[in-house]
Amino acid sequence: MVDPEFDAATDQGPREECGVFGVWAPGEDVAKLAYYGLYALQHRGQEAAGIAAADGSQIVVFKDLGLVSQVFDEQTLSSLQGHIAVGHCRYSTTGSTTWENAQPTFAVTDVGSGLALGHNGNLVNTVELAARVAELPGRNGRSKCTTDSDIVTRLLAAKATDAGVEAAALELLPTFEGAFCLVFCDENTLYAARDRHGIRPLVLGRLDRGWVVASETAALDIVGASFVREVEPGELLAIDADGLRSERFAPPEPKGCVFEYVYLARPDTSIAGRGVNAARLEIGRRLAQESPVEADLVIPTPESGTPAAIGYAQASGIPYGQGLVKNAYVGRTFIQPSQTIRQLGIRLKLNPLKDVIRGKRLIVVDDSIVRGNTQRALVRMLREAGALEVHVRIASPPVRWPCFYGIDFASRAELIANAGDVEAVRRSIGADTLGYVSMESLIAASEQPRTRLCTACFSGEYPIPIPTQVGKHVLEGIARGVAGDAEPVTAAGYGGQDALSRP
């Protein structure tokens, strides 16, 4: 399990969001397929994991806080029998890290059928939807959960009582504003839906005896499913004994998250036909052309900076090397670090190879700068290890705006890029030089038209209007009788409504 304080002390970068996985496969061990699918998506959420299994007559849900490998064992998986499974690994973007908020969420219709749901993304009209849930009669109007995912589940279950799940989804999905990739099921049918902007990725795969939907193509690979296509923006899929059905609930307005190419997705994933690793290599090549510097060695901040560092080395002709070793298991423990250990900061996660970097002029390539704490500590550590110069190169433009669509960035006031120009940031982190890739080069590397991408965290151009009541804990605030966090977070707190619409 990730200790939030420990994780914050060692990694000040963007947090991932969530991973979803669904499988319809009669005759297969669907719980184990879901387990390995979630294993491939573990990078998207490390706070909690869960699997729901349906066998035609009932749905069984098992979920807990922790990593996929910590939550499940052979005995647990063997108890999840059926021909449908829905899996989820969570990083909280709405609601605290509690067992109640782990997913899949579950609700029961008034006629007694069940509904289990996993969600990747973030809704922006959560307060309005929460008010609708509060008006529901019976059990669906009461919940200990404080997530937009639970709200969606209860609204669907309430509407499905009269209309059935598929008809309920077609009616309700157009009313959900924001980013959502939903994978859900009743006792007989697997469903998947993607918001009309397609902000988060969702793909469809084929098994010999069934179908798979997942957040990334890498999850299809691990379970032996062949990639069929992406779930389209504004599309609802239903998979049952009659086959696969597709219906539109909204006209598509594609705005895929460009930050998936920078950091969020696995490098062995493809998004919109573009391999993420190839995109990151190209970002590095363009970064070398835009921000050249004389140096002896190019090193990455592992692991997310590695492909861009290789691309930078290729384009610059400067040798590539491994100058930092990453401890892959830091943050994946239930043991709280002592204050002495906590003060070591980044050294808990990265340690320099002194023989490699001593006496060298280094170019250090990282995926992004958020608060700057990681880069500041890294530059200091490399100098202490004997580096003559430290030149920092960033494989994305400056992050100036928070994300309201499923990434847990800092607030505007905490984002170091808003503290001054590039020179001010360079001084703050202590680097000899600092360079970012341009927005134009980032978009070119994705091979997507800018009109089909969400660049809000870099440009401030939000494709979906942001409400005045926002914040990770807005639903907990409502439960306490206030309109948001203890100090309600509003859009104005991020720079004002006018500022949200432009850089």
Query: What is the pTM assigned to this prediction?
Result: 0.88
> For residue range 365-378, what is the model confidence (pLDDT) as tens digits?
999 999 999 899 99
Q: Which of 18, 89, 145, 185 is catalytic?
A: 18
pLDDT at residue 38, rounded to an integer: 97
18 assigned to active site: yes
Per 3-state DSSP, the chain is made up of helix, strand and coil in percentages (nearest 5) of: 35, 25, 40
Residues 415/403, Cβ–Cβ less than 8 Å: no
The structure tokens listed for 263 are: 């950091």
DSSP string, 12-38: -S-B--EEEEEEE-TTS-HHHHHHHHH
Residue 469 per-residue DSSP state: B
Q: E strands along 196-279, which residues? A: 203-207, 210-214, 226-230, 235-240, 243-248, 256-257, 270-271, 274-275
The amino acid present at 278, given as its one-letter code, is A
Q: What is the pLDDT of residue 13?
A: 54
Q: What's CA 287's distance to the chain center, in Å? A: 25
Average pLDDT over the chain, rounded to whole? 87
pLDDT at 340 (0 to 100): 72
How many percent of the chain have pLDDT more than 90?
72
Domain ranges of the chain: 4-254, 275-446, 465-500
Binding-site annotation, residues for [4Fe-4S] cluster: 257, 403, 454, 457
pLDDT beyond 70 at 145: no
Burial class of residue 286 (count of CB atoms within 10 Å of its CB; 0-12, 13-18, 19+):
buried
Amino acid 65: pLDDT: 92
Identify whether the C-beta of residue 475 lies closer than 8 Å to the C-beta of residue 130.
Answer: yes
Quick one: pLDDT at residue 15? 53
Give yes or no for residue 263 having a pLDDT over 60.
yes
Segment 265-295, tens digit of pLDDT: 999 999 999 999 999 999 999 999 999 999 9
Binding residue positions: 257, 304, 366-367, 403, 454, 457
Q: How far apart are CA 22 and CA 34, in angstroms?
A: 7
Alpha carbons 307 and 282: distance in angstroms, whole number: 9
Residues 275-446, CATH architecture: 3-Layer(aba) Sandwich (3.40)
**Comparison of pLDDT for 140 and 152, the residue scoring more:** 152
Distance CA 2, CA 408 (A): 15
For residues 180 and 168, give the distance between their C-alpha atoms in angstroms, rounded to a whole number.
17
Strand, coil or helix: 104: coil
Q: Would you place residue 147 in the very low, low, confident or very high pLDDT band (cuts 50, 70, 90)?
A: confident
Q: State residue 161's pLDDT score.
A: 82
Residues 215-240 have pLDDT tens digits of 999 999 999 999 999 999 999 999 99
Q: Considering the domain 4-254 in this protein, what is its CATH number?
A: 3.60.20.10
Q: Which residues are annotated as a binding site for Mg(2+)?
A: 304, 366-367
